[in-house]
């Protein structure tokens, strides 16, 4: 069953739109109508009319804000005045004004919104979202939102979504602003626009749209895009991947040892390689971290499973091991690669191997805010503890809204609360390490981490260097850590006293 890459979504941001020209390659268009309680798109009415005249399937979407969900739904319906063959969509994501984060719609407000749409129209709208939606839902099933059809935004080789709520994905926005796999452009609308794939046949697309989103397509087993944007053939095996990877490693000078996730059609794979260019390249790939069944590139991936043994864990051994309790595959992947198993790479970051920053990078970080939140976690009632794969959703209160968190979940929240990066800083310690390398933060030696100065640092322990296969990440300030570690939880310890700290890679976050 072939997917249909013939849908675009637009807003007033696009100018000089020619739907007749676009209809040569596009079948459907979804137009932004409203935002919040009062904001209406200037060109919505005229574009809806022109799109229909050009023979296109038409839908609309509302961008949710933090205000009453039912009132937002009523405002949206009063503007879009939907016919029965028009798609209705709630856009559920974080947003900002001039890079200043604004209060985002909550899950309760989203539930109220979609229930009101159903009350008035008799049909459930689509729900559009990306990393914010994944963070909010986690691995839980939402009995209200599951009535909606899902439209996921993820600019990578294949989509990941909250399968507990939606076993089936209906639409995938695979590119926007020139990020993600090709193609990016549509004649008559513009370059680097939002393009979307419908997961179903051409006939299913017509039936889905004619019913206003009621007639859902049959489930598809797989969607995949080339791992490298410029490659014409999809890379579906380790052997093919390495052929492309070696081309991209050809410019490396000196020796290099890396471990990073791969995104094959069957899910996460671990890659290890030792490179001395141009002399030799040694590569291995596995579905699990080292020590749990590594295979050669040509052998195919083994079934993944938890480590056979996890030590007692301690400052000198394995910072995220919990005595007597092994992490499951899903929990380990959530710690290393993020809650959905793919890390939620920021737009434009494909998780490649070599940093592509052209200049040193740093951010402003309010260390007092970071320590204050850490202290709140340590003194909450109940005290926040360490939990395999546990994360913090934006705005949650320690002890009240969450009672446990892993290392990468805490560091992401510390960064989110004390810098301007917001949720662009990804989840998962391995993914965070890749992001820091690619952004160009200055790498320093272990001694630099012991400095008593006003620079904030971040340190990473590779999953390869611990028996549990669980990496670690922590912030450093004046030889003190800000971290969540196994058996304890959020904590601050003396960096130079930690035996494993000399295995960690250290970077300066602030100048």
pLDDT for residue 56 is more than 70? yes
User: What average pLDDT score do residues 398-408 get?
Assistant: 94
Task: With beta carbons less than 8 A apart as the criterion, state whether 304 and 287 touch.
Answer: yes
pLDDT, one tens digit per residue, over 90-119 is 999 999 888 788 899 999 999 999 999 999
Written as six digits, the tokens of 241 are 């991947």
Whether the per-residue pLDDT at 18 is higher than 90: the answer is yes
Percent residues over pLDDT 90 in the chain? 53
Task: Write down the pTM of the prediction.
Answer: 0.50
Contacts of 260 (CB under 8 A, 6+ apart): 271, 351, 353, 430, 434
Question: What average pLDDT score do residues 478-493 get?
Answer: 94
Q: What is the pLDDT of residue 270?
A: 46
C-alpha 96/C-alpha 209 separation (Å) is 31
Lowest mean pLDDT among 200-204, 303-307, 319-323, 356-360: 303-307
Q: 108 burial class (0-12, 13-18, 19+ CB within 10 angstroms)?
A: exposed
In the chain, domain spans: 4-210, 230-305, 329-508
C-alpha distances in angstroms, 359 versus 356, 438, 439, 440?
9, 11, 9, 6
Lowest mean pLDDT across 59-73, 238-252, 264-278 = 264-278
* Residue the block writes with tokens 């209705």: 88
Residue 338 — very low, low, confident or very high, per pLDDT cuts 50/70/90?
A: confident
Q: What is the pLDDT of residue 339?
A: 65
- pLDDT value of position 288: 46
Examine the pLDDT at 372 and tell me if it is beyond 90.
yes
- Report which of residues 346 and 377 the model is more confident about: 377
With beta carbons less than 8 A apart as the criterion, state whether 169 and 199 touch. yes
pLDDT, tens digit (0-9, with 9 covering 90-100), for 432-446: 887 888 788 889 999
Q: What is the pLDDT of residue 264?
A: 36
Q: With CA atoms as reference, report the closest residue to 493 among 474, 480, 478, 502.
A: 480
Q: Has residue 137 got a pLDDT over 80?
A: yes
The more confidently predicted of residues 340 and 13 is 13
Please report the pLDDT score of residue 308 as a whole number. Answer: 27
**Which one of 1.20.950.20, 3.20.20.80, 3.30.720.210, 3.90.1420.10 gives the CATH number of domain 4-210?**
3.20.20.80
456 φψ region: left (φ > 0), alpha (ψ -120 to 50), beta (else): beta
> Does 266 have pLDDT greater than 60?
no
Quote the pLDDT of residue 220. 66
| Size of the chain, expressed as the number of residues it contains | 511
Residue 382, preceding peptide bond in cis (omega within 30° of 0): yes
Rg (alpha carbons) of the chain, rounded to whole number: 24
Q: Strands 472-477, 480-485: parallel, antiparallel or unpaired by DSSP?
A: antiparallel
Report whether pLDDT(232) > 80: no
Of the candidate CATH numbers 3.90.1720.10, 3.40.50.620, 3.30.450.40, 3.40.640.10, the domain formed by 329-508 belongs to 3.90.1720.10
Higher pLDDT, residue 271 or 496: 496
Measured between alpha carbons, how far is 447 from 453 in angstroms, rounded to an integer? 13
pLDDT band with cut points at 50, 70 and 90 for residue 2: low
What average pLDDT does range 27-46 have in this prediction? 97
pLDDT value, residue 380: 95
């Amino acid at each position: 069953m072939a997917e249909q890459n013939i849908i675009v979504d637009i807003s007033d941001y696009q100018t000089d739109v020619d739907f007749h020209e676009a209809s040569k390659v596009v079948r459907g268009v979804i137009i932004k109508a409203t935002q919040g309680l009062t904001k209406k798109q200037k060109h919505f009415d005229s574009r809806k009319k022109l799109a229909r005249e050009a023979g296109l399937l038409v839908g609309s979407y509302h961008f949710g804000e933090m205000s009453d969900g039912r009132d937002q739904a009523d405002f949206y319906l009063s503007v879009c005045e939907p016919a029965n063959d028009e798609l209705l969509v709630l856009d559920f994501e974080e947003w900002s004004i001039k890079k200043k984060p604004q209060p985002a719609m909550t899950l309760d407000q989203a539930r109220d919104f979609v229930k009101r749409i159903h009350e008035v129209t008799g049909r459930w709208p689509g729900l559009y979202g990306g990393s914010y939606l994944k963070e909010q839902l986690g691995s839980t099933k939402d009995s209200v939102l599951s009535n909606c059809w899902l439209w996921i935004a993820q600019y990578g080789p294949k989509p990941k979504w909250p399968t507990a709520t939606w076993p089936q994905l209906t639409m995938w926005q695979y590119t926007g602003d020139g990020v993600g796999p090709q193609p990016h452009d549509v004649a008559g609308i513009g370059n680097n626009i939002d393009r979307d794939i419908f997961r179903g046949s051409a006939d299913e697309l017509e039936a889905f749209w004619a019913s206003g989103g009621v007639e859902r397509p049959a489930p598809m087993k797989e969607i995949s895009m080339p791992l490298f944007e410029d490659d014409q053939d999809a890379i579906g095996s380790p052997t093919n991947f390495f052929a492309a990877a070696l081309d991209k490693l050809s410019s490396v000078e000196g020796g290099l040892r890396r471990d990073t996730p791969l995104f094959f059609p069957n899910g996460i794979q671990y890659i290890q390689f030792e490179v001395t260019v141009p002399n030799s390249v040694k590569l291995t790939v596995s579905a699990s971290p080292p020590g749990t069944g590594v295979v050669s590139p040509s052998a195919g991936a083994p079934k993944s499973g938890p480590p056979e043994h996890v030590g007692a864990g301690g400052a000198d051994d394995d910072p995220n091991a919990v005595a007597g309790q092994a992490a499951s595959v899903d929990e380990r992947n959530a710690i290393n690669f993020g809650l959905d198993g793919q890390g939620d790479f920021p737009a434009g970051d494909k998780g490649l191997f070599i940093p592509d920053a052209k200049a040193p990078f740093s951010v402003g970080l309010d260390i007092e805010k970071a320590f204050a939140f850490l202290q709140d976690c340590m003194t909450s009632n109940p005290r926040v503890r360490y939990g395999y794969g546990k994360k913090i959703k934006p705005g949650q209160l320690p002890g009240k809204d969450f009672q446990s968190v892993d290392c990468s979940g805490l560091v992401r929240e510390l960064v989110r609360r004390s810098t301007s990066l917001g949720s662009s800083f990804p989840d998962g310690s391995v993914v965070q390490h890749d992001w820091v390398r690619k952004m160009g933060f200055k790498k320093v030696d272990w001694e630099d981490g012991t400095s008593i100065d006003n620079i904030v640092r971040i340190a990473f322990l590779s999953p390869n260097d611990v028996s549990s296969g669980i990496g670690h990440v922590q912030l450093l300030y004046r030889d003190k850590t800000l971290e969540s570690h196994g058996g304890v939880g959020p904590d601050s310890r003396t960096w130079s006293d930690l035996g494993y700290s000399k295995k960690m890679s250290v970077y300066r976050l602030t100048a």
